[in-house]
Structure 1
Amino acid sequence: MKLKIKMGIDLLMTALLLCLMAYQVTGQKLHEWFGTGMLVLFLLHNILNIRWYGSLFKGKYTLLRAMQTLINISVLISMLCLGFSGIVLSRHIFAGLPIQGPMATARTMHLAASYWGFVLMSIHLGFHWSMVLGLFRRLWSRKKTPATFVWLMRFIAIFIAGYGAYCFHKENIVSYMFLKQEFVFFDFEQSAVSVFAGYITMMGLWVFIGFYTVKGLRKITSQSRRKE
């Protein structure tokens, strides 16, 4: 039951993340509501995984565990920055609260943290993508997945990652992440389908990178253990 709740929260967070990135489609008010929902779900996600924090200083750190820990902590920092800056910048949901802050700093923080958060959360999802694949395998009625289907899925994954890399470069995301450009110029004439397709493929790129990074590190670890 707890696993199903976790999976449901993660699914909702993934959907909200895409909606949050599509600001030119949703507008300011919906963006704030989606952001508030994301923050609440993120807090629930952390409460349900509270044991992870207790194990931080226990056990041996492999390269894979160190990378996972770094990504998780980075996601936490980006979400805290987004939560604070989002409340300060709010024009609707939190506008009536006696919360003040430096608007210029909050705007810059929100810009950088939103794109870093998008990349880091996508990598985090990629690190756990094997669980998603395992769920699909359990739902798949056949005992063995046909090789043709497996290679078809791999081809689609490569295509999505490739197009995501193109969109990532085209949208100049790196300049926002490192604040080389401090203002985002949204194309409000772009169709909703095009906007969401772009962000889905960009997410797919980082999920792809995260998933195969984990696979590669596990393979290296298993080979080193065999040599020992």
Structure 2
Amino acid sequence: MKPKMKIKMGIDLLMTALLLCLMAYQITGEALHEWFGAGMLLLFIAHHILNIRWYGNLFKGNYKLLRILQTIVNFSVLISMLCLGYSGIVLSRHVFAAFPIGGPMATARSMHMAASYWGFVLMSLHLGMHWGMIVGMFRRLLKGRKLPGAAVWGLRLAAAVIAGYGLFCFIQKDIVSYMFLKNQFVFFNFDQSAISVFAEYIAMMGFWIFVSFYMTRGIGKISGKHSIGREKINEKN
């Protein structure tokens, strides 16, 4: 693996870990939450600098369904991060308290809450769309050795169980009401253990990764069949 790719993977791994820490506000507390947020913002900027070529290719090539969806998700993540960055600075009492950036606190609070949960879902979807790369790296580590069929199905079952629990948590916590600001206040259970909090958010992330990964695979297979079908038609003509 090239050094640049290792740096990209390292940044993405740190961003994933920070995303989970940021969602666990009742565990980290206000000050640490702000420092994690500042770190996420810096890593997000670094991520975009390292992937700047993606923007240069926006107007090149054809836009099929999968590329359209990936582009929508990527720009949605960017918008949510910009909203989080601005609202986080406005609300800051520790890291950015000295910055001369102000605004309506109520608006910033609502923006921060909605963008937090939208960002969590969108970043999980983004990760799922690139999960094939992680699977490919794992296969390369095996150096051509294949896992036993039972192990493969065991991993698939584990993924399905995690996704199912993640969906349950997502519904139980009524995350949709926060995303669409139907509920203006987030309920935090400060008596809940750290293990339980992180397990729930890991499962919810796993659910959206699961959905995105298999949706991406399905679209890829459908597109591939359509391409083969067109080639056969062209050959007959």
- Check whether TM > 0.5: yes
The alpha carbon displacement at 1:172 in A equals 0.5
Query: Structure 2 CA distance, aligned partners of 1:141 and 1:171?
Result: 42
1:161 aligns with 2:156: no
Further displaced range: 83-92 or 97-106: 97-106
The alpha carbon displacement at 1:59 in A equals 0.9
Question: For residue 48 of structure 1, what is the aligned residue in structure 2?
Answer: 50
Residue among 47, 58, 61 paired with 2:60: 58
Extract structure 1 runs of 4+ deviating beyond 6 A.
Answer: none
Look up the equivalent residue of 1:163 and give its one-letter code: Y
Helix, strand or coil for the counterpart of 1:217?
helix
1:98 aligns with 2:100: yes
Question: For residue 125 of structure 2, what is the aligned residue in structure 1?
Answer: 123
Residue among 224, 227, 233 paired with 1:225: 227
Helix, strand or coil for the counterpart of 2:29?
helix
Question: For residue 192 of structure 2, what is the aligned residue in structure 1?
Answer: 190
Query: Structure 1 CA distance, aligned partners of 2:126 and 2:10?
Result: 16
* Percent identity for Structure 1 against Structure 2: 67
Structure 2 regions of 5+ residues with no counterpart?
231-237
Question: For residue 37 of structure 2, what is the aligned residue in structure 1?
Answer: 35
Further displaced range: 155-164 or 94-103: 94-103
Residue among 56, 67, 71 paired with 2:73: 71
Helix, strand or coil for the counterpart of 1:189?
coil
Further displaced range: 134-143 or 144-153: 134-143
Look up the equivalent residue of 1:162 and give its one-letter code: G
Query: Structure 2 CA distance, aligned partners of 1:121 and 1:31?
Result: 18
TM-score normalised by the chain length of structure 1 = 0.99
Residue among 120, 132, 135 paired with 1:133: 135
Query: Structure 2 CA distance, aligned partners of 1:140 and 1:157?
Result: 20
TM-score normalised by the chain length of structure 2 = 0.95
Question: For residue 234 of structure 2, what is the aligned residue in structure 1?
Answer: none
Question: For residue 149 of structure 1, what is the aligned residue in structure 2?
Answer: 151
The alpha carbon displacement at 1:148 in A equals 1.1
The alpha carbon displacement at 1:141 in A equals 4.9
Question: For residue 25 of structure 2, what is the aligned residue in structure 1?
Answer: 23
* Native 8 Å contact 2:89 2:99 kept in 1: no
* Native 8 Å contact 2:166 2:207 kept in 1: yes
The alpha carbon displacement at 1:97 in A equals 1.9
Look up the equivalent residue of 2:171 and give its one-letter code: H
* Native 8 Å contact 2:24 2:197 kept in 1: yes
The size of the alignment, in residue pairs, is 228
Look up the equivalent residue of 1:165 and give its one-letter code: L
The alpha carbon displacement at 1:100 in A equals 1.1
Query: Structure 1 CA distance, aligned partners of 2:109 and 2:218?
Result: 38
Query: Structure 1 CA distance, aligned partners of 2:228 and 2:98?
Result: 62
Query: Structure 2 CA distance, aligned partners of 1:224 and 1:138?
Result: 29
Helix, strand or coil for the counterpart of 2:28?
helix
The alpha carbon displacement at 1:58 in A equals 1.1
Q: Deviations over 1:57-104 (max 9, x none)?
A: 111000000000000000000000000000000000111222211111
Query: Structure 2 CA distance, aligned partners of 1:77 and 1:95?
Result: 23
Look up the equivalent residue of 1:38 and give its one-letter code: M
Query: Structure 2 CA distance, aligned partners of 1:97 and 1:127?
Result: 36
